[in-house]
Amino acid sequence: MKSLIPFRPSNGGFLAPFRQEMESVFERFFGEPLEETGKVIKAFAPRVDIEETDKEIVVKADLPGVEAKDVEISVSDGVLTMKGEKKEEREEKKKNYHCVERYVGKFYREIALPPSADPDKIAATTNKGVITVTIPKKPEAQPKKINVKVQD
């Protein structure tokens, strides 16, 4: 007599591919593991806009609710690193209930810089939850205009 139970592979059952896909989705959404003091923690990667002109590179990172003191920006070996921690607490009191929500999460983002970037003159500002990092280009890397002269 044939069994009515379908074949199930021994590597975790028929739900194994679904579980692996869900783990991959959560990994992409919540960020990559970040090594810190010997343990692995999760960090989200803030969204960034990168704009390059002839004179500078401007990186804008969306970090709403993050204070300037909680952000660390550094440059090493041609890589701009932004990391820190977001701490948020919201409290709501109404007649029939009292709700307190807290959120704490680390963020981490690395951006490779071109060789023309001048890491000694980087400036960072924040305004309304957007951190703007301005990286000037080295003078020798900036394009030089050459005027065309008319010959007589």
User: pLDDT per residue over 68-85, tens digit each?
Assistant: 888 999 999 889 999 988
Long-range contacts at 80-83 (CB < 8 A, ≥ 24 apart): 80/110, 80/111, 80/112, 80/113, 80/122, 80/133, 80/135, 81/108, 81/109, 81/110, 81/111, 82/46, 82/107, 82/108, 82/109, 82/111, 82/131, 82/133, 83/34, 83/43, 83/107, 83/108, 83/109
Residue 87: which pLDDT band, with cuts at 50, 70 and 90?
Answer: confident
Give the distance from CA 11 to its chain's centroid. 35
Torsion 106-81-62-132 (CA) sign: positive
Return the percent helix, strand and coil in the chain, to nearest 5.
Answer: 15, 45, 35
* Distance, CA of 42 to CA of 61 (rounded, Å): 19
Angstrom distances, CA of residue 72 to CA of 21, 85, 86, 92, 143: 33, 9, 12, 31, 32
Q: What is the pLDDT of residue 67?
A: 86
* Distance, CA of 25 to CA of 48 (rounded, Å): 20
Assign domain 46-140 to its CATH architecture. Answer: Sandwich (2.60)
Q: What is the pLDDT of residue 89?
A: 80
Residue 107 has pLDDT above 90, yes or no: no
Please give the residue that has the higher pLDDT: either 107 or 32.
107
Return the domain boundaries, the chain: 15-44, 46-140
For the residues 26-46, what does the mean pLDDT come to? 59
